[in-house]
Structure 1
Amino acid sequence: MTHIERTDLNLLGPLAALLAERHVSRAAELAGTSQPAMSRALQRLRDAFGDELLVRTPGGYRLTPRAERIQRQLGGVMPRLETLFAPETFEPADAAEAFRIAGTDYASVFVPALCRRVFRDSPHSTLDFGRWHDGVFDDLDHGLVDLLFYATRKPSPGLRSEHLFDDRFVCVMARDHPLAHRPGLTLDDYLDSRHVIVATVGGRQTAVDDLLDQLRRPRTAGLSVPYHSVAPLAVPGTRLVATLPRRIAAEHAFDPALRILPAPPEIPPLRYHMSWHPRLDDDPAQRWLRDAVRGVLAEPSP
């Protein structure tokens, strides 16, 4: 057993007060305790150090040589201990944090605004936006990612999760597609078409394909792409249908080569979340980052 394991650290405060005041009553007043409690603390300190520490003389108490050495050491130790046990704070203007986030390219609907807010309020900090892959939840669990943005899929039970918003699906097709003149698509019309699949997890667009699997009515893939942003570009001149969240499709609303229709009502809205590891719950910098995300999403859309 080491010396510190045998020591009651609660005695550090009384020790500093006794050495500073060299008087039991004044030390008790300084430490905010009673004179009998300080006398008991002095005795315990004498036993712990094997030294009298304070010796009564005709002119009052004097420090022993050991006590003088301890007092000099405490002058450096106590401020560091105070800093160690003080509540952590985060001052974004002075901080230089390296924030690590991850998600599919769908996060582009708000991540640029998040970047502007982070760099405005914490100009020395950095953001690393990692790519989405099948093991990204493991990255979160292993501390390789701080904050993860994703749609619909349930995270691991041990992670924190917060619902951010919903986004409905729409269908993007060529202006001359046979279905383009309709006000909307039935599920039968939808499934008779060939589709652009935005392969987010395991080669599937899970937010759509998991639902169709539950209905036992899978769709036919004509093209698979890794990014939402690519899907509308592949549609003109084909009979393909791309199923995209409305916020992504809205960027192509004025493209004369495209037509955007509501998705069949059987396809529910996309539910968008952020997740983080519980070890980051109380980290001031991470709390600030999560608040920045909430603040950006609370702002009116341009």
Structure 2
Amino acid sequence: MHIENADLNLLKALDVLLEERHVSRAAARFHLSQSAMSRTLSRLRETFGDELLVRTTRGYELTPRARAIQQELEFILPRLRALVRGGEFDPATSADSIRVNCTDYAVTVLGGRLFGRIFEQAPRLSLTVEPLSPRTYDEIEHGRVDLALSPVQPPSGLHWQPLFQEDYVCAVAFDHPITASRLTLDQLAEYPRVSVVVLPQQVMVIDRRLAELGVTQRSGLRVPYFEAAFTALPGTLLIALVPRRLVEARRNDSSVRLIEAPAEIAAPFPYGMVWHPRLNSDPAHVWVRERVAEVAADLRP
């Protein structure tokens, strides 16, 4: 194959096909019909002289050539976009796609102001928000996720920018028998807790602190979202240890009230954003990161 005979516009479609390993899902993400994406796959197979995707009993699998191409595309596509665009970026006309991983906490605390600011200035930009997962940092490494918002600092090799400080408070049902303005560790251990387990198989920040202090709580409830923790509180003796700003966002909810956490676990922790160095100078990515930082800076201490 000679580059003169190749249609470089197909590379983005190829990237999506190799990531999804499914023609229909790739078509939906690329805003094409399934038949159009099938024709695109045929052209790609002809261009690269390889099947790329092979149907098996478990679905489509990548050929060895496709795996090698996928690794190269992780670096080539951002560079091609920057090369074509140069150093210029106009949010009013940008049709870039940015994929973000975060929890419902980040959407609640930052989302409203962030999304409003982004789409007011960049109405054609495509922003996909997906849940934070144990695979998030690997997905950033492989170029499938552009940005993560998390209190968990990433492994070396990824960039981390602190956005603000957060701390934990206790949320309980409005009629919970505890009336003190601040819990003690003994009181915390006396009642069952609703634990928010965002990353299965990994220890959450607050659970690590409690373990270090030797605090063992009664069995309670484990949920995957902070919003689910609040929903579980009314009518129970459960205690939820949640970030303060999340409780403040629900200050009009009369079914739940706030109690200060024990002083031993009330120390603040940083919340930040994570990205891969390959996107350091990508104009669209820089612009989105700047908007995130602006909204975070506007948060009250």
Q: In the alignment, does 2:105 pair up with 1:106?
A: yes
Offset from partner CA, 1:260-301 (integer Å, 9 cap, x none): 111111112232010100000111111111111111222356
1:257 shift after superposition? 2.5
Q: In the alignment, does 2:141 pair up with 1:160?
A: no
**Paired residues of 1:103 and 1:150 also in contact (CA < 8 A):** yes
Q: In the alignment, does 2:222 pair up with 1:224?
A: yes
Per the alignment, do residues 237 and 97 of structure 1 end up closer, same or farther by CA in structure 2, a change over 3 Å counting?
Answer: same
Q: In the alignment, does 2:94 pair up with 1:95?
A: yes
Quote the Cα distance in structure 1 between the aligned partners of 2:191 and 2:201.
19
Q: Which moved more, 1:198-207 or 1:264-273?
A: 198-207
1:204 shift after superposition? 6.0
- Structure 2 residue matching 1:128: 3-state secondary structure: strand
**Paired residues of 1:194 and 1:220 also in contact (CA < 8 A):** yes
Per the alignment, do residues 161 and 183 of structure 1 end up closer, same or farther by CA in structure 2, a change over 3 Å counting?
Answer: same
Per the alignment, do residues 85 and 94 of structure 1 end up closer, same or farther by CA in structure 2, a change over 3 Å counting?
Answer: closer
Counterpart of 2:120, as a letter, is R
Partner of residue 69, structure 1: none
Counterpart of 1:122, as a letter, is A
1:193 shift after superposition? 1.4
Per the alignment, do residues 286 and 186 of structure 1 end up closer, same or farther by CA in structure 2, a change over 3 Å counting?
Answer: same
**Aligned pair count?**
217
Q: In the alignment, does 2:273 pair up with 1:274?
A: yes
- Structure 2 residue matching 1:130: 3-state secondary structure: strand
Q: In the alignment, does 2:266 pair up with 1:265?
A: no
**Paired residues of 2:95 and 2:124 also in contact (CA < 8 A):** yes
**Paired residues of 2:234 and 2:256 also in contact (CA < 8 A):** yes
Partner of residue 132, structure 1: 132
1:205 shift after superposition? 6.2
Per the alignment, do residues 203 and 197 of structure 1 end up closer, same or farther by CA in structure 2, a change over 3 Å counting?
Answer: farther
Q: Which has the larger radius of gyration?
A: 1
Partner of residue 183, structure 2: 185
Counterpart of 1:272, as a letter, is Y
1:247 shift after superposition? 1.0
Counterpart of 1:124, as a letter, is R
TM-score by length of 2: 0.68
1:219 shift after superposition? 2.8
Offset from partner CA, 1:29-55 (integer Å, 9 cap, x none): xxxxxxxxxxxxxxxxxxxxxxxxxxx
1:203 shift after superposition? 5.7
Counterpart of 2:121, as a letter, is D
Quote the Cα distance in structure 2 between the aligned partners of 1:221 and 1:269.
26
Q: In the alignment, does 2:237 pair up with 1:239?
A: yes
Where does the alignment leave 5 or more consecutive residues of structure 2 unmatched?
1-81
Counterpart of 2:104, as a letter, is D
1:232 shift after superposition? 1.3
Quote the Cα distance in structure 2 between the aligned partners of 1:116 and 1:236.
32
TM-score by length of 1: 0.68
**Paired residues of 2:103 and 2:198 also in contact (CA < 8 A):** yes
Offset from partner CA, 1:135-188 (integer Å, 9 cap, x none): 11111111111110001x221111000110012211111222221x11110111
- Structure 1 residue matching 2:241: 3-state secondary structure: strand
Offset from partner CA, 1:33-85 (integer Å, 9 cap, x none): xxxxxxxxxxxxxxxxxxxxxxxxxxxxxxxxxxxxxxxxxxxxxxxxxx969
1:233 shift after superposition? 1.4
Partner of residue 210, structure 1: 208
Partner of residue 253, structure 2: 255
Where does the alignment leave 5 or more consecutive residues of structure 1 unmatched?
1-82
- Structure 2 residue matching 1:220: 3-state secondary structure: coil
1:87 shift after superposition? 4.4
Partner of residue 32, structure 1: none
Quote the Cα distance in structure 2 between the aligned partners of 1:183 and 1:248.
18
